[in-house]
Amino acid sequence: MTVHMAQLTAARALLFVPGDRPDRFDKAVAAGADAVILDLEDAVADADKDAARAHVDEWLARGGEALVRINGAGTREFEADLELVAKHGCPVVLPKAEDPAVLSGIDVPQVPIIETAAGVEAAVALCAVKNVARVAFGSVDLATQLGVRHNDEVALGYARSRLVLASTANGIAPPVDGVTTDLGDETVLAADIRHARRLGFGGKLCIHPKQVAAVRAGFAPTEEELAWARRVLKAGDSVSAVDGQMVDRPVLERARRLLALADS
């Protein structure tokens, strides 16, 4: 079994699970995330890479359904990881995406993580690659490279907006925001979700199952938004006013998108 492109483009909560912890794979699926990412990269020590790949291979062979975050291009694990995802036909999450040519050589659906300055500057070209379903933002790695705090909204604002614009310009799904590392304060996660959604992101990477429900709810249209959308569509296609605000074609389109998002 594999995760289909439509599932990727509609996903709100994508949950990481370390590839060397097979005892957590089924638990991660049961957590209710829209998609699970089996991680062969950052979550796995170098000495455990081969064992992690074997665990992921075995679980996928038994019918498991997930994305796989492979090790980046140029690492010694890259080719073996590619063989694994090709064998199972599962979508790949490529870290530190910078070169469109690397993405073009991967013949499965992809969610590249843009997490370097070079990747941000190449965002439009990366989003244009055929098999890219959407991109994700690697906020922690980029912040480290830039020498700023990973939770600094101002410092990372340009990068986030560039990913949203690049995705929209290429007609692909809205990008997925980076992780919230604070697992003890729910208000931090809620604030991160609000900020990302305000900028145009469509989902978020999760590092713990307890983040999933909040992320799924936070990226879904609110009841207030849905009620507004219904009032707008009820007013008809001609230029009109709803709640004292002008309604024209772009506003109608936003209303339709909100209702479609609620059904996804």
pTM, rounded to two decimals: 0.88
Average pLDDT of the residues in 239-250: 71
Q: Is 69 annotated as a binding residue?
A: yes
- Please check the confidence at residue 151 and state whether its pLDDT lies above 90: yes
Domains of the chain: 5-220 (3.20.20.60), 221-264 (no CATH)
- Please check the confidence at residue 170 and state whether its pLDDT lies above 90: yes
Q: Residue 1: what pLDDT?
A: 47
Distance of alpha carbon 115 from alpha carbon 120, whole angstroms: 7
Span of 124-128, 158-162, 254-258 with lowest mean pLDDT: 254-258
Q: Which residue has the tokens 């170098």?
A: 46
> 106 near 99, Cβ under 8 Å?
no
pLDDT band at 40 (very low <50, low <70, confident <90, very high): very high
The sign of the dihedral angle between the CA atoms of 46, 48, 51, 56 is negative
- Please check the confidence at residue 250 and state whether its pLDDT lies above 80: no
> 106 near 92, Cβ under 8 Å?
yes
- 130-150 pLDDT tens trace: 999 999 999 999 999 999 999
Residue 45 three-state SS:
coil
> 97 near 126, Cβ under 8 Å?
yes
Estimate to the nearest angstrom the gap between the alpha carbon of 260 and the chain centroid.
19
